[in-house]
């Protein structure tokens, strides 16, 4: 049987294609999307060629959907279940997963399969490996559009706060307040940050950052962000930095504004260039105890269920991210191009199917 999908045709090129409906393995599921959202990562992949050439690969890795087929060894999930689909779907029996880094199962970043190593979710149907371990039931109280933020924005943004190891009362700077950084702001606040700086420029993102708990806004268009942070902290800097925007040179600023003993959590996808530079003196000539941690979001059903509990119990409201709602498959292209062009009023588009 054939299906339609919106694909990367090659670097810099996208379009609709037809493919065979994927085949369900014994541990797997075939899912029909209910709501999907494009990601800035799709833009790095297509227009920066960040992961190399891909031909006719269906895009998208953020979805909630309904199961239409399960493999013979799937125990918990069944046809008709509505599920949250994490962007990262590891192989749970791998050694990397046993070592605690399931997102790198099968090799670095290889837990990221949708729209990387296999067709993504911008299709009439898509395949999910190890369904019982990777899919979480969609709580009935959640709006599917708000719940689609659980695929990637919530786990990635909150992982930034984990990587930076935000502790009660820490001063934290979140660099970048697109949808990922906004979830890092929310994550840092949930973990008990004291003073919480948010770096961005779009007015609607700034408003939402304040709603999620930012105490100070730093506009990078108004001058060097390190100078602005130092001015506001009496020259001390911050305990933790979360990087969710900017470019390779953002690390220079992050290290510079960090106190000795501080930690940087990076979730930004560095889509171009060969090196990240570390400023020698600001890094304490190698002895400053300034740690850089960078990571792909963890996947997995348990994690998804726990993050969904934040929404169900009113601790996190992802609907604030949704600035553009579309109805119908045919709007996928428009939604993706919004992510590419980033108009000023955009935070995140969602397409309901
Ligand atoms: P956006 O493009 O929406 O947001 C980027 C943010 O960075 C904006 O707030 C922007 O400000 C700000 N910014 C841009 N340039 C600078 C600069 N020079 N200095 C400081 N801030 C700057 O991106 P998303 O929130 O959608 O995604 C963020 C990153 O996370 C992307 O690279 C994405 O690919 C990656 N990602 C990583 C994942 C992971 O698992 N690690 C998963 C999903 C995404 P302005 O207000 O002016 O727009
Ligand atoms: Zn993504």
CA dihedral (279, 280, 286, 289) in degrees, to 10, reads: -40
Q: Do domains 2-152+297-352 and 155-294 have the same CATH topology?
A: no
Reading the chain (353 residues) residue by residue, the pLDDT tens digits are 999 999 999 999 999 999 999 999 999 999 999 999 999 999 999 999 989 999 999 999 999 999 999 999 999 999 999 999 999 999 999 999 999 999 999 999 999 999 999 999 999 999 999 999 999 999 999 999 999 999 999 999 999 999 999 999 999 999 999 999 999 999 999 999 999 999 999 999 999 999 999 999 999 999 999 999 999 999 999 999 999 999 999 999 999 999 999 999 999 999 889 999 999 999 999 999 999 999 999 999 999 999 999 999 999 999 999 999 999 999 999 999 999 999 999 999 999 99
Q: Across all residues in the chain, what is the average pLDDT?
A: 97
- For residue 343 the two structure tokens come to 């108009």
Question: For residue 58, what are the β-bridge partners?
Answer: 7
pLDDT in tens, 185-241: 999 999 999 999 999 999 999 999 999 999 999 999 999 999 999 999 999 999 999
- Tell me whether residue 109 is exposed, middle or buried, using C-beta atoms within 10 angstroms of its C-beta: 0 to 12, 13 to 18, 19 or more: middle
CATH number of 2-152+297-352: 3.90.180.10
From the alpha carbon of 177, which atom of ligand 1 is closest? 9
Name residues contacting ligand 1 (CB within 6 A): 39-41, 44, 152, 156, 175-181, 199-202, 205, 220, 244-246, 250, 267-269, 296-297, 342
What is the chain's alpha carbon radius of gyration, rounded to the nearest angstrom? 20
Distance CA 240, CA 259 (A): 8
For residue 232, give the DSSP letter: H
180 Cα: distance to centroid of ligand 1 (angstroms): 7
Return the closest-CA partner of residue 157 out of 61, 267, 239.
267
C-alpha separations of 110 from 9, 103, 319 in Å: 21, 7, 30
pLDDT in tens, 8-35: 999 999 999 999 999 999 999 999 999 9
Question: For residue 8, what are the β-bridge partners?
Answer: 14, 57
| Cβ-Cβ contacts under 8 Å for 273 (sequence gap 6 or more) | 247, 248
What pLDDT shows up at residue 312?
98
Distance CA 76, CA 92 (A): 16
Q: Could you give the 3-state DSSP secondary structure of residue 282?
A: coil
Q: Whose CA is nearest to atom 47 of ligand 1?
A: 201
- For residue 40 the two structure tokens come to 């800035």
244 Cα: distance to centroid of ligand 1 (angstroms): 5
- For residue 246 the two structure tokens come to 């900017």
Question: For residue 199, what are the β-bridge partners?
Answer: 175, 218
Domain ranges for the chain, please list them: 2-152+297-352, 155-294
Q: What is the DSSP string of 37-103?
A: ---HHHHHHHHS-TT---SSEE----EEEEEEEE-TT--S--TT-EEEE-S----TTSHHHHTT-GG
Predicted TM-score (pTM) of this structure? 0.97
From the alpha carbon of 267, which atom of ligand 1 is closest? 41
Q: Could you give the 3-state DSSP secondary structure of residue 138?
A: coil
Determine how β-strand 172-175 pairs with β-strand 196-199: parallel
What pLDDT shows up at residue 271?
85
Which residues keep their CB under 5 angstroms from ion ligand 2? 39, 41, 152
In sequence order, which ranges of 164-293 are alpha helices (DSSP H)? 179-190, 203-211, 225-232, 250-257
Distance CA 251, CA 16 (A): 38
155-294 maps to CATH 3.40.50.720: yes
């Amino acid at each position: 049987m054939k299906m339609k999908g919106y694909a990367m045709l090659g670097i810099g090129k996208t379009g609709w294609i037809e493919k065979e409906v994927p085949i369900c393995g014994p541990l797997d599921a075939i899912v029909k999307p209910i709501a999907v959202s494009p990601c800035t990562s799709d833009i790095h992949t297509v227009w920066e060629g960040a992961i190399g050439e891909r031909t006719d690969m269906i895009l998208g890795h953020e979805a909630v959907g309904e199961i239409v087929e399960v493999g013979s060894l799937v125990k918990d999930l069944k046809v008709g279940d509505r599920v949250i689909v994490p962007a990262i779907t590891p192989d749970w029996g791998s050694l990397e997963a046993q070592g605690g880094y399931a997102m790198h199962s099968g090799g670095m970043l290889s837990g990221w399969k949708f729209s990387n190593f296999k067709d993504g979710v911008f299709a009439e149907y898509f395949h999910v490996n190890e369904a019982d371990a990777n899919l979480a039931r969609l709580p009935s109280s959640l709006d599917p559009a708000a719940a689609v933020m659980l695929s990637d924005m919530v786990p990635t943004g909150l992982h930034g706060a984990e990587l930076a190891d935000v502790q009660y009362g820490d001063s934290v700077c979140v660099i970048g307040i697109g949808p990922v950084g906004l979830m890092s702001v929310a994550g840092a606040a949930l973990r008990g940050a004291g003073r919480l700086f948010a770096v961005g420029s779009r007015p609607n993102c700034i408003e939402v950052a304040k709603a999620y708990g930012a105490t100070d806004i730093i506009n990078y268009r108004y001058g060097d962000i390190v100078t602005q942070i130092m001015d506001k902290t009496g020259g001390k800097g911050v305990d933790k930095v979360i990087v969710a925007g900017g470019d390779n040179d953002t690390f220079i600023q992050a290290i510079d504004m960090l106190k000795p003993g501080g930690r940087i959590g990076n979730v930004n996808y560095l889509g171009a260039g060969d090196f990240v530079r570390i400023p020698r003196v600001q890094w304490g000539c190698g002895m400053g105890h300034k740690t850089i941690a960078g990571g792909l979001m963890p996947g997995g059903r348990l994690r998804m269920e726990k993050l969904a509990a934040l929404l169900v119990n009113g601790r996190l409201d992802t609907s604030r991210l949704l600035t553009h709602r579309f109805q119908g498959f045919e709007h996928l292209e428009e939604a993706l191009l919004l992510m590419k062009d980033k108009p000023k009023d955009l935070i995140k588009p969602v397409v309901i199917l």
